[in-house]
A = this chain, B = another copy of it.
């Protein structure tokens, strides 16, 4: 799957016709005029176009199995997405096989290949933090494999996608802190390579700007795991006397921050209000219970599975790719309830 290989899209662009027309012309589909079929096939031959043999052979026989690739199943969000996928898949007669990448693009490639080798009917994927380009995924789609991205998408790959509005999530979390009187709000963020983290941060920055609150770079700490927060403990303690609110890009990070603040004599929410992101089960179990943004993992999984199975069952017809965007929901609990 070298990235310089000619694709259906290249042929379509050259001839000024749609990729689905090219795809059907290559398969001698009767809906396509004899002349177009001849043109396409001639060009395909001359540029040495080779369809992905595996993907083509896959389309012949249904396995009633769908493949799912996720970064890590220890994340509660992904395990709830899987539950949503499983429920829809099971009810429609499909099995689900799941691979995890551990945020490693090489494992991701190997996982995808293993799933293809096992003759899946379609693929759902949430890419690793470190996956930048995805020409192999684009090629797969061009070759007719139904693929749905969820949550962590590749923006430049054209296919069905199910996401949550992370910008809005960051914005409503920050606006909530502002609404309870916070003016000096810190943000614990993800590395910038992660689009969803970037968007949450943009939501935070925009909400501050809209409220006329200056954005302080010192208040933005890159830490998206308990370990990372512990490593940045000194920086957090250094800004703690100034700040009155924290928006953390996930629940674990929020709770780790609360622990450090509490150990250093700060009261949450009275001195510093804290809001997380995700709404996993720990949000209701900690003390104080955690305000957070609900990520709707189960609904995302259901919708992604529905989209994928519809695509599998409608077959290789021309299609409109859709992006379904879920709206996140504010969950207000004790950690932002000032007395």
Segment of A95-103, A143-151, A194-202 in the binding face = A95-103
Q: Within 8 Å CB of A128, what residues of B?
A: none
Contact present for A117 and B65 (CB under 8 Å):
yes
Segment of A46-54, A75-83, A176-184, A317-325 in the binding face = A75-83
Segment of A35-43, A107-115, A132-140 in the binding face = A107-115
Q: Within 8 Å CB of A287, what residues of B?
A: 286-287
Q: Does A17 contact B (CB under 8 A)?
A: no
Complex CA–CA separation, A110 to B89 (angstroms)? 12
Q: Within 8 Å CB of A63, what residues of B?
A: 114, 117-118
0/1 per residue, A3-33, Cβ < 8 Å to B?
0000000000000000000000000000000
Contact present for A99 and B110 (CB under 8 Å):
no
Q: Within 8 Å CB of A118, what residues of B?
A: 63, 65, 97, 117-120
Least CB distance, A242 to chain B, in whole angstroms: 25
Q: Within 8 Å CB of A1, what residues of B?
A: none
Q: Within 8 Å CB of A100, what residues of B?
A: 82, 86, 96, 98
Using a Cβ–Cβ cut-off of 8 Å, how many residues does chain A contribute to the interface with B? 39
Q: Does A237 contact B (CB under 8 A)?
A: no
Q: Of residues 312 to 334 in A, which have CB atoms within 8 Å of B's CB atoms?
A: none
Q: Does A265 contact B (CB under 8 A)?
A: no
Least CB distance, A66 to chain B, in whole angstroms: 10
Contact present for B99 and A96 (CB under 8 Å):
yes
Q: Does A130 contact B (CB under 8 A)?
A: no
0/1 per residue, A48-77, Cβ < 8 Å to B?
000000000000000111000000111010
* CB-based nearest B residue for A289: B259
Contact present for B255 and A285 (CB under 8 Å):
yes
Contact present for A74 and B76 (CB under 8 Å):
yes
Contact present for B76 and A97 (CB under 8 Å):
no
Least CB distance, A111 to chain B, in whole angstroms: 6
Q: Does A306 contact B (CB under 8 A)?
A: no
* Additional A-B contacts beyond A97-B118, A118-B120 (13; CB < 8 A): A63-B114, A65-B117, A74-B76, A82-B100, A86-B102, A95-B99, A95-B111, A96-B100, A226-B285, A252-B281, A285-B286, A286-B286, A287-B287
- 8 nearest interchain CB pairs? A118-B118, A95-B114, A74-B79, A98-B98, A287-B287, A97-B97, A73-B79, A73-B73
